Amino acid sequence: MAIDVKVTLIAHTPDPERVVAAAARQCYSKYSATKALSELKDEDIKRQLRRRISDGHLSVLEHASFTFAIEGISRACSHQLVRHRIASYSQQSQRYVRLEEMEFVLPDSVAANEESKIKYLEALERCRGCYADLLKMGIPTEDARYILPQASPTKIAVTMNARSLMNFFELRCCLSAQWEIRRLAEEMLRLVKGVAPTMFENAGPFCVSRKICPEKKYDCPKWVELYKK
Ligand SMILES: Cc1cc2nc3c(=O)[nH]c(=O)nc-3n(C[C@H](O)[C@H](O)[C@H](O)COP(=O)(O)OP(=O)(O)OC[C@H]3O[C@@H](n4cnc5c(N)ncnc54)[C@H](O)[C@@H]3O)c2cc1C
């Protein structure tokens, strides 16, 4: 019945750190990006990336982009995701795709309590049944979908450049973000670290990336773990 998020990094700029470092190098030397692309050594790439990120010259990060295929998140979560405007999205349509066999997202807080879990699952079953009945009555899919809850699953492909991803991670890896989008953001961060480890080495919530807590929650376990020790 309950489903979980599945994230796949399906494409990215080839050699993203080299591309970003070459573009950055060109800004500060007589070299072209083409020459830098072929001649930069691994240590130069690391140095360029670290320098530009710490200087705040973040526009160079826009030369690397990453595409994720995301499944098993709720519509509540995808609604939060698509608020990030510096990105491209392709989401499974509820107008054209019938969701008769759908499983729903079940929050841990609901699942932890038998009574709330039963109430939640019963309500979802009623929505599912009503949706199926409306379709059988010939109501168009695009209108039957109005009965679907926010717990309905969705599939979405997302492309973001590295700069936008950094912003996304700052906002959504934070412990103040809701658990579902945080889980998604943490998984996306794990995946991009696999292909661009230097670029994303300090990516994460504000307390990790900028050593500040915009919410001033200094009793947050993450802040305590990072700085109070
Ligand atoms: C903890 C939390 C709680 C939230 N609560 C709410 C809520 O209650 N209600 C609600 O509506 N939203 C809420 N949001 C969503 C939030 O307001 C943003 O829409 C969302 O986080 C996207 O962030 P962003 O604008 O930085 O990202 P993007 O849209 O990707 O933009 C990236 C950056 O580009 C720049 N930018 C983009 N567009 C413009 C523009 N038009 N003008 C100037 N600069 C621009 C900004 O610097 C921005 O930070 C919440 C977000 C978080 C993390």
Does any ligand 1 atom lie closer than 6 A to the CB of residue 84? Answer: yes
pLDDT interval class at 10 (50, 70, 90):
very high
Task: State the distance from the centre of ligand 1 to the C-alpha of 163, rounded, in angstroms.
Answer: 14
For the CA of 86, the nearest atom of ligand 1: 30
How many Å apart are CA 1 and CA 122, to the nearest integer? 12
> For 88-104, what is each residue's pLDDT tens digit?
999 999 999 998 788 99
Give the C-alpha separation, 135 to 129, whole Å. 10
Tracing tokens 């190098």 back to the chain, one arrives at: 25
pLDDT digits (tens, 9 = 90+) for 159-214: 999 999 999 999 999 999 999 999 999 999 999 999 999 999 999 999 999 999 98
pTM of the predicted model over 0.75: yes
Q: What is the pLDDT of residues 36-80, one digit of tens each?
A: 899 999 999 999 999 999 999 999 999 999 999 999 999 999 999
User: Has residue 1 got a pLDDT over 60?
Assistant: no
Any ligand 1 atom below 6 A from CB of 46? no
Residues 6+ apart with CB under 8 A from 217: 175, 176, 223
Say how far apart CA 65 and CA 109 lie, in whole Å. 35
- Please, which pLDDT band fits residue 154 given cuts at 50, 70 and 90? very high
Find out whether the beta carbon of 83 lies less than 6 Å from any atom of ligand 1: yes
**pLDDT value of position 100:** 75
